[in-house]
Amino acid sequence: MSASEQGPKIKYGESAPKPDKAQLQFMKLIEEQNLDRVQKLKRIRRNNLLTAGALGVSVLAIYGYSIFSVQQEKFLDDFEEPKKMAQPSARVLQSGMRLPPMPTIRELVKLYRLQARKQLSQNFLMDERLTDKIVKSAGRIDPKDLVLEVGPGPGGITRSILRRHPQRLLLVEKDPRFGETLQLLKECASPLNIQFDIHYDDILRFNMEQHIPDTSQRIHLIGNLPFAISTRLLINWLDDLAARRGAFRRIDTCMTLTFQQEVAERICAPVGGEQRCRLSVMSQVWTEPVMKFTIPGKAFVPKPQVDVGVVKLIPLKRPKTQLPFHLVERVVRHIFSMRQKYCRRGYGTLLPPEDREEVAQKLFERAEVQDTLRPFELTVEQCLRLAEVYSEHLVTRPDVAAYDYRAPKNAEVL
């Protein structure tokens, strides 16, 4: 601005006229208003600062809490696994180790032209949900456990077992044609760090103690059994269980096995049940058999004539008898040899004919069992008491142990 544009300078001390009263009041009013405005601005500034502070603290709190919670989650994971995470499959997924994508069992069967062999009771399960369900029926499989699978065939159940991540998996398969598919599975499973052994052998001759010398691992016996051998295999294993040998050196070895539906029902049949038979009593002396579920025949390829029952047999911690397996088996077999007659008829065939009636009566009395019950009406305990008194009788009459009422020289009409 030039000097000409500026107004004249006022020298207040000299020439300025003194403000009158009204002007002074006006100035005072303006001054008060200015003071008010300054106070207001100060208040607004203070409030802004407070709000900014509060926001800052909140942001820091949220940030801090997020970091803390993430750490807390990690800690909880180690300490108490949530139910879902306790599943070994979840563990495998968490660690990033899982089976790589593979051809389906159906594709493998086609690819390797694996025609089912009737003489080996081969019926394949292709549905992963069913194979998973069978393995789930075995209960919890810990990362230190060993699973022995009987007759893996092309490997459907084997895959479901691998997803449960045991420490060791042992396969026993009689048919070497499955070599390629099982080897493929073994290679795919190598990142899982599971000890994976395949034996091409007959399970009925398989030496458990030789292949599983260490008893520190819990064993799960799992298998979609060949029908042709299922009952024989179960009887063999019950024998091993009674003697605490083979896979049963540990009392917690459970069996999760498939049977023809009717056989499965017999194994689990209660006293008085229509299906009650020798197999029910023998299974229930040393184990608690649990019927898990039924697989319709149409789920198998090729389709068998019958449906299939999945049974889990849990060894009893305290077996109901200390008698040897073969003695119990002999007595129970004789009792059930005449299923619809009074139980004294079948039991009597254990004894030579000369004094049969008399001795049998005494033994029934000593066992406190009513001899007019039908075999299927006898409890396991009653069968065992009849076995015990028979065993005591052998002490005084050892010759009776060798008596066989079917032998030609003893042939008779009962």
Ligand X SMILES: C[S@@+](CC[C@H](N)C(=O)[O-])C[C@H]1O[C@@H](n2cnc3c(N)ncnc32)[C@H](O)[C@@H]1O
Work out whether 246 is an interface residue with ligand X (CB under 6 A): no
Work out whether 123 is an interface residue with ligand X (CB under 6 A): yes
Which amino acid does the sequence have at 357?
E
- C-alpha angle 224-271-297 in degrees, rounded to nearest 5: 25
Please, are residues 157 and 224 in contact by the beta-carbon 8 Å criterion?
yes
Q: Which is closer to ligand X, CB of 182 or CB of 367?
A: 182
- CA 41/CA 36 separation, integer angstroms: 9
- Verify cis geometry, omega within 30 degrees of 0, for the bond prior to 375: no
Place of tokens 């079917």: 406
Name the segment binding ligand X (CB under 6 A); options: 16-24, 114-122, 243-251, 380-388: 114-122
125 is in an annotated binding site: yes
- Of 137, 148, 151, 343, the one binding ligand X (CB under 6 A) is 151
User: Least distance in Å: CB of 130 to ligand X?
Assistant: 9
- Of 92, 108, 114, 125, the one binding ligand X (CB under 6 A) is 125
Q: Which is closer to ligand X, CB of 152 or CB of 315?
A: 152
123 is in an annotated binding site: yes
Q: Which is closer to ligand X, CB of 226 or CB of 348?
A: 226
- Of 162, 203, 212, 264, the one binding ligand X (CB under 6 A) is 203
Please, are residues 155 and 223 in contact by the beta-carbon 8 Å criterion?
no
Work out whether 97 is an interface residue with ligand X (CB under 6 A): no
- C-alpha angle 153-227-320 in degrees, rounded to nearest 5: 110
- Of 172, 247, 263, 332, the one binding ligand X (CB under 6 A) is 172
Q: How far is CA 387 from CA 254, 286, 306, 320, in A?
A: 26, 15, 35, 12
- CA 40/CA 61 separation, integer angstroms: 31
Work out whether 162 is an interface residue with ligand X (CB under 6 A): no
151 is in an annotated binding site: yes
Work out whether 309 is an interface residue with ligand X (CB under 6 A): no
Work out whether 383 is an interface residue with ligand X (CB under 6 A): no
Q: Which is closer to ligand X, CB of 310 or CB of 369?
A: 310
User: Least distance in Å: CB of 116 to ligand X?
Assistant: 8
Work out whether 265 is an interface residue with ligand X (CB under 6 A): no
User: Least distance in Å: CB of 113 to ligand X?
Assistant: 15
User: Least distance in Å: CB of 169 to ligand X?
Assistant: 13
142 is in an annotated binding site: no
- Of 135, 146, 157, 279, the one binding ligand X (CB under 6 A) is 157
Work out whether 120 is an interface residue with ligand X (CB under 6 A): yes
Work out whether 224 is an interface residue with ligand X (CB under 6 A): yes
User: Least distance in Å: CB of 125 to ligand X?
Assistant: 4
- Of 92, 108, 109, 122, the one binding ligand X (CB under 6 A) is 122
By rule CB under 6 A, what count of residues binds ligand X?
22
Q: Which residue ranges make up the annotated binding site for S-adenosyl-L-methionine?
A: 123, 125, 151, 173, 202, 224
The binding site for ligand X (CB under 6 A) comprises 120-125, 150-153, 156-157, 172-175, 202-204, 224, 226, 229
